[in-house]
C-alpha cells in the first residue's frame, strides 16, 4: 500500500565495503610481486604494474561506494530525527494520508453497519420513518453521499487522488447520516400522526445566510427535483440489496 509503512533501515554493507577496500590496498604489493614472479621476465614488470593498479582502482571504487552509502544512511537518520520519517516530508505526508484512509475505511464500515441495522429493525424504521423516505431531502442527501463513498471504496489502499476522494466522501456520508437522523428525530412525532406528511427541513433549520437564487423557472426546479428523487429511490433499493447481501 502506498505510503502506509516506513521503510526499515536494513543492515548496512558499508563496513564490509570499507574492509574490502583496505584488503585490496594491502594486497596490492603482493599482486604486483605475484604477477611479476609468475611472468619470470623483466618485461613482466609492466603486466605486474597493471595488475597492481587495477587492484588499487578496485580498492578506491569500494571505498567510494561505501562512502556514498554511508552518506545516504546518514541523511535518512537525520530526516528521521528532524522530520520524524526517513523519507522526509513526503514520507510523513504519505504516512498521514494512509492513516486517514484507514480511519475513513473503518468509519465507512461502521456507517454501513449502522444503516444496515436500522434498515433491518422494524421498530427503528417506525420510530424514524423519515430515514427511509427518499423524498425527504436529508435522507436523499444521505443516500447520495453513501452511494458516492461506496463507489470510491476499495479493498486495498489506492493511490492519490482516489484515496483523498474516498476520505472526503466518507466525511460527507457521515455528516449526511447525522443530519438525516437529527431531522428524522425532529419530525418523528409529526410523521407518526395519521395522514401527516413530513415538513420540509427548512422548518427545523435556521434561515440560511446565502442569498436566494432567482431566475430559474418553477417547472424546471420541479423536473430536476423529480429526477433526483427517482434516482435516489433507485439508489436506495440498490444500496439495500448490497447491504443485505
Q: What is the pLDDT of residues 35-61, one digit of tens each?
A: 777 776 776 777 878 888 888 888 888
Within this chain, do residues 104 and 201 fall inside the same structural domain, yes or no? yes
Is 121 part of a structural domain of the chain? yes
Is 155 part of a structural domain of the chain? yes
Within this chain, do residues 21 and 110 fall inside the same structural domain, yes or no? no
Model confidence band, residue 26 (pLDDT cutoffs 50, 70, 90): confident
What is the pLDDT at residue 105?
A: 93
What is the pLDDT at residue 220?
A: 47
Residue 240 has pLDDT above 60, yes or no: no
Model confidence band, residue 89 (pLDDT cutoffs 50, 70, 90): low
Does this model's pTM top 0.85? no
Within this chain, do residues 145 and 41 fall inside the same structural domain, yes or no? no
Residue 158 has pLDDT above 60, yes or no: yes
Within this chain, do residues 136 and 201 fall inside the same structural domain, yes or no? yes
**DSSP characters over 106-170:** HHHHHHHHHHHHHHT-HHHHHH-GGGG-TTSHHHHHHHHHHHHHHHH--SS---TTHHHHHHHHH
Q: Comparing 67 with 233, which gets the higher pLDDT?
A: 67
Q: How many CA atoms lie within 13 A of 92 on its CB side?
A: 10
What is the pLDDT at residue 151?
A: 93
Residue 12 has pLDDT above 90, yes or no: no
Instruction: Tell me how many domains the chain contains.
Output: 2
Which of 80-84, 176-180, 188-192, 221-225 shows the lowest per-residue confidence on average (mean pLDDT)? 221-225
What is the pLDDT at residue 37?
A: 77
Within this chain, do residues 49 and 115 fall inside the same structural domain, yes or no? no
Is 163 part of a structural domain of the chain? yes
Q: Comparing 112 with 230, which gets the higher pLDDT?
A: 112
Within this chain, do residues 75 and 106 fall inside the same structural domain, yes or no? no
Q: Comparing 120 with 80, which gets the higher pLDDT?
A: 120
Cβ pair 112, 243 in contact under 8 A: yes
Is 9 part of a structural domain of the chain? no
Rounded Cα distance between 152 and 148, Å, is 7
pLDDT digits (tens, 9 = 90+) for 177-186: 999 999 999 9
Within this chain, do residues 124 and 236 fall inside the same structural domain, yes or no? yes
Rounded Cα distance between 18 and 12, Å, is 11
Model confidence band, residue 202 (pLDDT cutoffs 50, 70, 90): very low
Of the residues 54, 86, 118, the one at which a domain ends: 86
What is the pLDDT at residue 238?
A: 59
Cβ pair 87, 95 in contact under 8 A: no
Within this chain, do residues 231 and 132 fall inside the same structural domain, yes or no? yes
Chain length of the chain: 245
What percent of the chain has a predicted confidence (pLDDT) above 70?
A: 62
Q: Comparing 41 with 172, which gets the higher pLDDT?
A: 172
Within this chain, do residues 116 and 185 fall inside the same structural domain, yes or no? yes
Q: Comparing 135 with 90, which gets the higher pLDDT?
A: 135
Q: Which domain holds residue 106?
A: 96-206+215-244
Averaged pLDDT of the chain:
74
Residue 211 has pLDDT above 50, yes or no: no
Within this chain, do residues 121 and 55 fall inside the same structural domain, yes or no? no
Amino acid at each position: 500500500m502506498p505510503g502506509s509503512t516506513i521503510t526499515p533501515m536494513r543492515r548496512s554493507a558499508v563496513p564490509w565495503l570499507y574492509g574490502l577496500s583496505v584488503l585490496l590496498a594491502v594486497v596490492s604489493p603482493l599482486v604486483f610481486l605475484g604477477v611479476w614472479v609468475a611472468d619470470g621476465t623483466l618485461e613482466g614488470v609492466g603486466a605486474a604494474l597493471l595488475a597492481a593498479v587495477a587492484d588499487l582502482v578496485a580498492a578506491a571504487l569500494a571505498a567510494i561506494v561505501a562512502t556514498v552509502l554511508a552518506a545516504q544512511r546518514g541523511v535518512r537518520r537525520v530526516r528521521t530525527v528532524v522530520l520524524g520519517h526517513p523519507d522526509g516530508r513526503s514520507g510523513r505526508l504519505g504516512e498521514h494520508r494512509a492513516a486517514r484512509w484507514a480511519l475513513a475505511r473503518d468509519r465507512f464500515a461502521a456507517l454501513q453497519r449502522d444503516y444496515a441495522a436500522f434498515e433491518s429493525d422494524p421498530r427503528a424504521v417506525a420510530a424514524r420513518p423519515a430515514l427511509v423516505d427518499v423524498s425527504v431531502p436529508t435522507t436523499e442527501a444521505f443516500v447520495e453521499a453513501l452511494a458516492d463513498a461506496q463507489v470510491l471504496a476499495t479493498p486495498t489502499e489506492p493511490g492519490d487522488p482516489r484515496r483523498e476522494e474516498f476520505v472526503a466522501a466518507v466525511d460527507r456520508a457521515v455528516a449526511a447520516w447525522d443530519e438525516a437522523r437529527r431531522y428524522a428525530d425532529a419530525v418523528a412525532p409529526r410523521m407518526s400522526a395519521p395522514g401527516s406528511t413530513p415538513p420540509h427541513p427548512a422548518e427545523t433549520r435556521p434561515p440560511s445566510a446565502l442569498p436566494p437564487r432567482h431566475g430559474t423557472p418553477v417547472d424546471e426546479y420541479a423536473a430536476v427535483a423529480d429526477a433526483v428523487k427517482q434516482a435516489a429511490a433507485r439508489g436506495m433499493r440498490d444500496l439495500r440489496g448490497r447491504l443485505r447481501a
